[in-house]
Amino acid sequence: MSRQTILPGTTAGGQQTTLGVMGGGQLGRMFVQAAQAMGYFTAVLDPDVSSPAGLVSHFHIQTDYLDEQGLAQLMQRCAAITTEFENVPAPALMTLGAHRPVAPGAEAVGIAQDRAREKAHFVRCGVPCAPYAVIESATQLNAVSDDLLPGILKTARMGYDGKGQVRVKTRDELAAAWTGLKGVPCVLEKMLPLKAECSVIVARGWDGACVNLPVQLNLHREGILAVTEVYEGNIPVALAEQAVEATKSIAEGLHYVGVLCVEFFVLADNTLIVNEIAPRPHNSGHYSVDACDVSQFDLQVRTLAGLPLQQPRQHSPSIMLNLLGDLWQGDGQVTPPWDQVLALPGVHLHLYGKLKASPGRKMGHLTITGPSVDAVRTHALAAAAILGIEAF
């Protein structure tokens, strides 16, 4: 497969260069906007007629991800194709990859879709993770070491935002939880004393060049990212350097091309362990659109098209607040007071174009930037108070 640089604009044949994305959610929408700003046409494949990315793209192919005609149409239109969520079927990516450059590739996405394979990859890369056991049968369930309890039982596939996860303290609770999860393949992770959570986003090109965004300090509530803080001193320098190197090692081991996020836990003793990977841009990197000279979506376009990668520079301290559907009262009929929020200095509102608000649904985010950490925190707290959400 030829992987020459794919330049924006009109081709020699008089057609606009088009980049494709599998998935039509908010991450696809922001990729589309970044690609269009650089002069590319875009095509989205997503079955939802009102998908956020499909609504703003030049072309929306409204089919299932495994539909042969839809995949053929995407290949016909696009010079290269990316993904916006990790559960795009790997066989679809293999089909596309046989005819067009696809980043990330099917093998890397397949590993990210399976916690057991993901953990094994961390071990191969020499990156510490929590002690764990794979449970695919009653025999493996009975063989679990008592040292792994209390722990968190997670489905090996299709778990996200805290879904498919059960905390267990005893062997009886473990057995009941596995039965409750229908006996699907799972991973049991030992619960460890956590001090903080952080993430690193890297972009790796076809040539192996790799750049990274600053380390992001994250706060989750009920398994969903709530707050991201990015500024100098948000975590100790040595830990930040370790997290960046571990992320690059994981990407290198996957022969990864594209934008990759790796999430970490900081333990009570200040040691760092890896939690999981996301083979795509990530909520914790949304701040980069407003606080960096190159955003994670710019990097996604550049890696896909084979354009040069420059190390991003953060020009402002930043805090990101996730906006869930709970903010819209009366089944989405009452709009939050955005005018009051936008009266605050340094506040950037990003809504994803979703037509219906529901509790727990990601509807948008606020990025707050400013000249100092104190200013950013002050205005973030003020925005949170207006909206009635907890900030820190």
Residue whose entry in the numeric block shows the structure tokens 């493996």: 140
Residues 42 and 180 both lie in one domain: no
* Neighbour tally for 255: CB within 10 Å: 12
Residues 98 and 164 both lie in one domain: no
| DSSP-derived secondary structure for 232-270 | TTSS-HHHHHHHHHHHHHHHHHTT--EEEEEEEEEETTS
Helix residue ranges, H only, the chain: 26-37, 52-56, 68-77, 90-97, 106-112, 115-125, 138-142, 171-180, 237-253, 288-291, 296-305, 329-332, 338-342, 373-387
> Cα(352)–Cα(348) distance, rounded to whole angstroms?
13
Residues 179 and 319 both lie in one domain: no
Count of structural domains, the chain: 3
Burial class from Cβ neighbours inside 10 Å (0-12, 13-18, 19+) for residue 143 reads: exposed
Residues 320 and 370 both lie in one domain: yes
Task: Please tell me the predicted confidence (pLDDT) of residue 2.
Answer: 45
What range does the domain containing 150 cover? 131-190
Task: Please tell me the predicted confidence (pLDDT) of residue 160.
Answer: 62
Residues 260 and 348 both lie in one domain: yes
> Cα 87 to the chain's mean position, in Å?
12
Beta-sheet strands, E only, within 123-164:
132-135, 151-155
pLDDT digits (tens, 9 = 90+) for 222-247: 889 999 999 999 999 999 999 999 99
pLDDT digits (tens, 9 = 90+) for 183-237: 899 999 999 999 999 999 999 999 999 999 999 999 999 889 999 999 999 999 9
Report the share of the chain in percent with pLDDT over 70. 96
Residues 73 and 184 both lie in one domain: no
Identity of the residue numbered 364: G
The pLDDT mean for the chain works out to: 94
Residues 216 and 266 both lie in one domain: yes
The mean pLDDT of 291-320, rounded to a whole number, is 98
Non-local (6+) Cβ contacts of 264 within 8 A are 197, 198, 199, 200, 243, 246, 272, 273, 274, 275
pTM metric for this prediction: 0.94
pLDDT digits (tens, 9 = 90+) for 273-297: 999 999 999 999 999 999 999 999 9
Confirm whether 1 is domain-assigned: no
Mark which of 86, 102, 118 sits at the end of a domain: 102
Residues 178 and 202 both lie in one domain: no
Q: Helix and strand tally (H, E) in the chain?
A: 14, 17
Q: What is the CATH number of the domain that holds 143?
A: 3.30.1490.20
Residues 140 and 239 both lie in one domain: no
Strand order in the sheet with 18-22: 59-61, 41-45, 18-22, 80-83
> Tokens representing 101?
């450059």
Residues 26 and 155 both lie in one domain: no
Confirm whether 354 is domain-assigned: yes
Task: Please tell me the predicted confidence (pLDDT) of residue 1.
Answer: 44
Quote the radius of gyration of the chain (alpha carbons, Å): 21
Confirm whether 225 is domain-assigned: yes
Helix (H) or strand (E) holding 392: none
Confirm whether 126 is domain-assigned: no
Task: Please tell me the predicted confidence (pLDDT) of residue 15.
Answer: 81
HEC states along 323-335?
A: EEHHHCHHHHCEC
Residues 171 and 49 both lie in one domain: no
> Cα 198 to the chain's mean position, in Å?
13
Residue whose entry in the numeric block shows the structure tokens 């952080």: 198
Q: What is the CATH number of the domain that holds 82?
A: 3.40.50.20
Non-local (6+) Cβ contacts of 20 within 8 A are 42, 43, 44, 45, 74, 77, 78, 80, 81, 82, 100
pLDDT digits (tens, 9 = 90+) for 43-54: 999 999 999 999
Instruction: Identify which of 227, 223, 233 has the alpha carbon closest to the alpha carbon of residue 286.
Output: 227
Confirm whether 299 is domain-assigned: yes
Q: What is the CATH number of the domain that holds 293?
A: 3.30.470.20
Residues 171 and 199 both lie in one domain: no
